Amino acid sequence: MSVLVVGVSHRSAPVSLLEQVTVGMGSPASAVTELRGGAVAEAVVLATCNRVEVYADTEGFHAGVDAISDFLSRTSGVPHEELRKHLYVHWEGQAVLHLFQVACCLDSMVVGESQILGQLRRSYAAASSGAGRTLHELFQKSLKVGKRAHSETGIDEAGQSLVTVGLEHATVELGSLAGRTGLVVGAGSMGALAGATLRRAGIAEMVVANRTAGNAARLAASLEGRGIGLDDLEQALVDADVVVSSTGATGAVLTADVVARAVARRQGRPLAMLDLALPRDIDRAAGELPGVTLVDLEQLGEVLRETQTGADVEAVRAIVTEEVGAFLSWQRASRVAPTVAALRARADQVVAAELSRLTGRVPDLDPRARGEVEQAVRRVVDKLLHTPTVRVKELADPSGGVSYAEALQELFGLDRAAPAAVSGAPVAVEDDVEEPDEVVATVPPQLQGTG
């Protein structure tokens, strides 16, 4: 089985197409359920404001690509011929490299932005039941690689936050935010970041609007503001100077009609609006109203198109390169480990049978002497098996060439079902990546209780 990623992102497609794919796919958990089967054995869907990617463990490259691209086309309603112009595909080592770059924020719209780690964790947690051993290990490692990048380098400062960049462009006509009123629509992690950014910019009054009033109240309390429901949004627009919206809604939260009625009551005061949602929260027609400046992800993408560089970015790239090599080594070893285990199990059976035969032939053999004989036999077997088991791990070919594991099976007459049984056994996992205020990725049920 091999890792495959098929996706579409801000780098490969316009925001309008990203919206279609995001909305059509539904929840990552339901998408994983629909994807599994046939060519796709395991799957994890990573859906953020900048990308939709399907990570799969599959036996065949072409069959996997066809299954995933057909799924994305069917659910989004985008014709396959049109969609494939914007899809990118990574296989094996390149797929691992891509995920680690994503986790380290090297592929983000703003290099160094840390939001992606939380989004990646939530996507993995939502699809953990669809992630077997390979994807579980891959995503656990990606989270650790991302955390390592942020703790060992200054990548956090390599680029400004998406909120900061967006506000700089949205508030050009408004000027200083000191003493003004801010409105945050959406009480999720991006809303919290937006509120904190506005507070640091000097906003005097903060309002948080959310579909669930309780969530709005909780975030507003942390920002020393007040929370409201979406029913009170129009009046809040009348009073606000700057609006940042980032909800999980599938349709416009702020329609052009609502914004127009609020603008009519503002007596000519300028209104800055920043839409960080995908699909969009704010009707693009609202940006054409007099006095309204609207900036969305598509416009930000144009601003941030150039790749950021620097010593910290290079340091993160070095970490990614190192960790990709380590993961691929683990992957190669894991592919032959079942055969090695089966070989050693076969050797144990042979040793046990010969020792039993010895007991039958020499029943009066002194126990101490019998123990010496047993140790000597086991030492000989271990020495004979050491070189082939080490070499098979070193020579395992990730590209699918000569299979040294299969050669061992043939040479030693191993039961082909034995390696499969070993590979299906639980594997010890680590889950010590800590991320404040984020969903903790859980170990899939089939891997629980193994350390």
CA 89, 95, 98, 99 torsion: positive or negative?
A: positive
Please identify, among 113, 132, 158, the residue that sits at the C-terminal boundary of a domain.
Answer: 158
Domain assignment present for 66: yes
| 209 belongs to a structural domain | yes
The whole-angstrom separation of Cα 242 and Cα 224 is: 17
Q: How far apart are CA 384 and CA 402, in angstroms?
A: 22
Examine the domain organization and report whether 11 and 152 are in the same domain: yes
In a domain, 65, yes or no: yes
**Which amino acid is residue 212, in one-letter code?**
T
Both 117 and 213 in a single domain? no
Taking only Cα atoms into account, the Rg of the chain, rounded to an integer number of angstroms, comes to 28
For residue 170, the SS3 value is helix
Q: How many domains does the chain have?
A: 3
pLDDT of the residue at 440: 28
The predicted pLDDT at position 29 comes to 82
Are 202 and 229 in a shared domain? yes
Interatomic CA distance for residues 25 and 429, integer angstroms: 30
pLDDT confidence of residue 400: 43
Cross-strand pairs, 8: 52
Burial of 217 (0-12, 13-18, 19+ CB in 10 A): middle
Q: Are 142 and 96 in contact (CB under 8 A)?
A: no
- Tell me the C-alpha distance between 415 and 418, whole Å: 5
The domain boundary, picked from 158, 189, 219, lies at 158
Question: Are both 397 and 268 inside the same structural domain?
Answer: no
Asked, for residue 312, whether it belongs to a domain, the answer is: no
Task: Let me know: does 153 contact 447? Beta carbons within 8 Å.
Answer: no
**If you write DSSP's letter for every residue of 356-409 in order, what string do you get?**
HHHHHH-TT--HHHHHHHHHHHHHHHHHHHHHHHHHHHHH--TTS-S-HHHHHH
Instruction: Give the Cα separation of 32 and 51 in Å (integer).
Output: 16
pLDDT tens-digit profile, the chain (451 residues): 689 999 999 889 888 888 889 888 878 788 888 888 888 888 999 988 788 999 999 888 999 999 999 999 999 999 999 999 999 999 989 999 999 999 998 887 767 666 788 888 888 888 766 678 888 889 999 999 999 998 898 877 654 567 888 898 899 889 899 999 999 999 987 888 899 999 999 999 999 999 998 999 999 999 999 999 999 999 999 999 999 999 888 789 999 999 999 999 999 999 999 998 878 899 999 999 999 999 998 888 766 655 455 678 889 999 999 999 888 877 777 766 677 777 788 788 888 888 888 888 888 888 888 888 888 988 888 888 887 777 766 666 554 434 666 666 666 667 655 444 333 333 333 333 333 333 223 323 332 333 3
Catalytic residue among 8, 49, 83, 127: 49
If asked whether residues 167 and 260 sit together in one domain, one would say yes
Cβ-based neighbour number of residue 227 at 10 Å: 23
Separation of alpha carbons 359 and 177, rounded Å: 90
151 lies in the same domain as 8: yes
- Are residues 23 and 100 both part of a single domain? yes
287 and 404, same domain (yes or no)? no
Let me know whether 280 and 411 are in one domain.
Answer: no
Q: What is the pLDDT of residue 425?
A: 36
C-alpha 34: how far from chain center? 19
Residue 60 lies inside a defined structural domain of this protein: yes
H or E segment and range at residue 56 = strand 51-58
Domain boundary among 143, 158, 173: 158
Q: Does residue 49 carry a catalytic annotation?
A: yes
Q: For 428, phi and psi rounded to 5 degrees?
A: -70, 135
Which CATH number does the domain housing residue 215 bear?
3.40.50.720
* CATH number of the CATH domain containing 75: 3.30.460.30
Q: Cis omega before residue 279 (within 30°)?
A: yes
Whether residue 8 sits in one domain with residue 144: yes
Q: ∠ CA 342-345-346 to the nearest 5 degrees?
A: 85
* DSSP state letters, 19-75: HHHHHHH--HHHHHHHH-BTTEEEEEEEE-SSEEEEEEEES-HHHHHHHHHHHHHHH
Structural domain of 12: 2-158
For the sheet with 51-58, list strands across it: 40-47, 51-58, 2-9, 88-91
Residues 286 and 179 reside in one and the same domain? yes
One-letter amino acid of 272: A
Question: CA torsion sign, 109 to 113 to 115 to 121?
Answer: positive
Does residue 308 lie in a domain region?
no
The percent helix, strand, coil of the chain (3-state, each to 5) is 55, 15, 30
Model confidence, pTM: 0.62
- Cross-strand bridge partners of residue 37: 40
Q: Does residue 315 lie in a domain region?
A: no
Residues 119 and 197 placed together within one structural domain of the fold: no
**449 domain-assigned:** no
**Across 236-317, where does the E strand assignment appear?**
242-245, 271-275, 292-296
